[in-house]
Amino acid sequence: MAKIKKSAFAKATARRSPLSLYGAAARRRKNNIKARKEKMSRIYMDYGAATPVDSRVLKKLGRFPSEVFGNTMSLHSFGQEAKAALEESRDILADLMGAKPQEIIFTGSATESNNLALKGIAFANKEKGNHIIISPIEHPCVGESAKWLESQGFEITKLKVDQYGLIDPKEVERLIKKETILVSVMHANNEIGTIEPIEEIGKICREKGVYFHTDAAQSLGKIPIDVEKMNIDLLTGSSQKMYGPKGAACLFIREGTKINPILHGGGQEFGLRPSTVNISAIYGFAQASLLCKKEIVKESKRLTQLRDKLIKGVMAKIEGSYLNGHPIKRLSNNANFWFEFIEGESLLIQLDMAGIAGSTGSACSSAKLQPSHVLLAIGLRPQEAHGSLRLTLGRWTTSKEIDRVLKVLPGIISQLREISPFKKN
């Protein structure tokens, strides 16, 4: 008998623990394989968590990682080539938000940028005051940074939001006091998509002589931003939310802002982010930014139409479904719902088994079983918050994919309600 040669997949499977072949993950893999056999392509609707790198960005990168690899701090030609690419990228990001090139520093992630903004401002200005104001619906990296600063003796005040997640600028004005050194309010919420009145809040902070930071990781490249017009002193942006490579982000710091580094080392990025720069990721970030700027109006219009089709379809087809976030003042790609008598994690698993990827909220906290702090802040009860679903659309989302979701989702909701411990007796 001829010896059958094992495939690479078979060899890899044989090395696994038998336990790894069981459980929900294994069943989902099996179902996805079945879906592919039935020519059912998978649908990605979690662009709010991560975006694929655009093929045009990859084409621009080409051999860049292997050819432009020098250390930007080196004086030889290899280093100066990398330095030139870094400064070109800085110019592009500055242009995207109406800033000066020297006001842009590159970091490794939006989390790092937000940590630098809060902690850097706090410690550089502690002689002036120790009071910081944030919203209750910030990304965990802002909320946890504020919590840590509180343990270091700073006073943290959280604003209130209405049922849509909107901040009232008048409350910001009321809460600012002599000791206030920073206000941090995100531009658009990562979970419910609500867009905040940043320009109004920034104007109040400017008049009061208080620094204003906004986390724009979800909005940069989707909404036109002008840091001058919007009175922004510090702004966070992220490559991986803009179809660029992971490992690159930026922080706009208005010229003249008093801020301390949170890392200490070789002096890169004007001494505010000492680390060898990830020049390939940064260059990719810049190329992705160029595409976003070029296509922002057309893509926003396209995604708004798809988003509205999805929202209207879900609300019409599924009884006991509710939209989270503002119905109009929201990101063009964001749809967030909560469903009566549904447990969110079970819903995600069933959708994944049907070849549809979504989320229950922020990807950075989706492994936690606690209800979303954002949904609790807008007034949902824990049981209601647990029944949430976030579907975020992107550059490759199609109308046919929306149709597919609207066909599959009602049946899954109905099945889960039949076995739900939350349902009415």
Residue 370 is predicted with a pLDDT of 83
d(CA 376, CA 165): 10
d(CA 421, CA 61): 51
The DSSP bridge pattern shows strands 234-238 and 249-253 to be antiparallel
Residue 347 has pLDDT above 70, yes or no: yes
Tens-place pLDDT, residues 280-313: 999 999 999 999 999 999 999 999 999 999 999 9
Q: pTM score > 0.85 for this model?
A: yes
Residue 5 is predicted with a pLDDT of 44
What region does 178 belong to: left with phi over 0, alpha with psi -120 to 50, or beta?
alpha
Burial of 27 (0-12, 13-18, 19+ CB in 10 A): middle
- Range 406-417 average pLDDT: 97
Q: In sequence order, what are the residues at sequence separation of 6 or more whose Cβ sits closer than 8 angstroms to the Cβ of residue 96? A: 220, 221, 225, 289, 292, 293
Domain 32-52+295-418 sits in CATH at 3.90.1150.10
- What radius of gyration do the chain's Cα atoms show? 23
Residue 10 is predicted with a pLDDT of 40
Residue 24 is predicted with a pLDDT of 56
385-412 per-residue burial string, b: 16 or more CB within 10 A, e: under 16: bbbbbbbbbbbebeeebbebbbebbbeb
Q: In sequence order, what are the residues at sequence separation of 6 or more whose Cβ sits closer than 8 angstroms to the Cβ of residue 245? A: 53, 57, 61, 239, 280, 281, 284, 285, 288
Residue 40 is predicted with a pLDDT of 61
- Range 233-248 average pLDDT: 98
Residue 61 has pLDDT above 50, yes or no: yes
d(CA 77, CA 89): 18
Cβ atoms 350, 27 nearer than 8 A: no
Q: pLDDT exceeding 90 applies to what percent of the chain?
A: 86
- Residue 28 banded pLDDT, cuts 50, 70, 90: low
- Range 330-356 average pLDDT: 96
d(CA 168, CA 129): 24
d(CA 200, CA 183): 13
Residue 316 is predicted with a pLDDT of 98
Domain 55-291 sits in CATH at 3.40.640.10
Which H, E and C letters describe the chain, residue by residue?
Answer: CCCCCCCHHHHHHHHCCHHHHCHHHHHHHHHHHHHHHCCCCCEECECCCCCCCCHHHHHHHCCHHHHCCCCCCCCCHHHHHHHHHHHHHHHHHHHHHCCCHHHEEEECCHHHHHHHHHHHHHHHCCCCCCEEEECCCCCHHHHHHHHHHHHCCCEEEECCECCCCCECHHHHHHHCCCCEEEEECCCECCCCCEECCHHHHHHHHHHHCCEEEEECCCCECCECCCCCCCCCCEEEEEHHHCCCCCCCEEEEECCCCCCCCCCCCCCCHHHCCCCCCCHHHHHHHHHHHHHHHHHHHHHHHHHHHHHHHHHHHHHHHCCCEEEECCCCCECCCEEEEEECCCCHHHHHHHHHHCCEECECCCCCCCCCCCCCHHHHHCCCCHHHHCCEEEEECCCCCCHHHHHHHHHHHHHHHHHHHHCCCCCCC
Cβ atoms 221, 295 nearer than 8 A: no
Residue 29 is predicted with a pLDDT of 60
Residue 236 is predicted with a pLDDT of 98
Residue 1 is predicted with a pLDDT of 41
- Write down the mean pLDDT value for the chain: 91
364 belongs to the catalytic site: yes
Domain boundaries, the chain: 32-52+295-418, 55-291
Residue 420 is predicted with a pLDDT of 84
Cβ atoms 279, 82 nearer than 8 A: yes
- Residue 38 banded pLDDT, cuts 50, 70, 90: very low
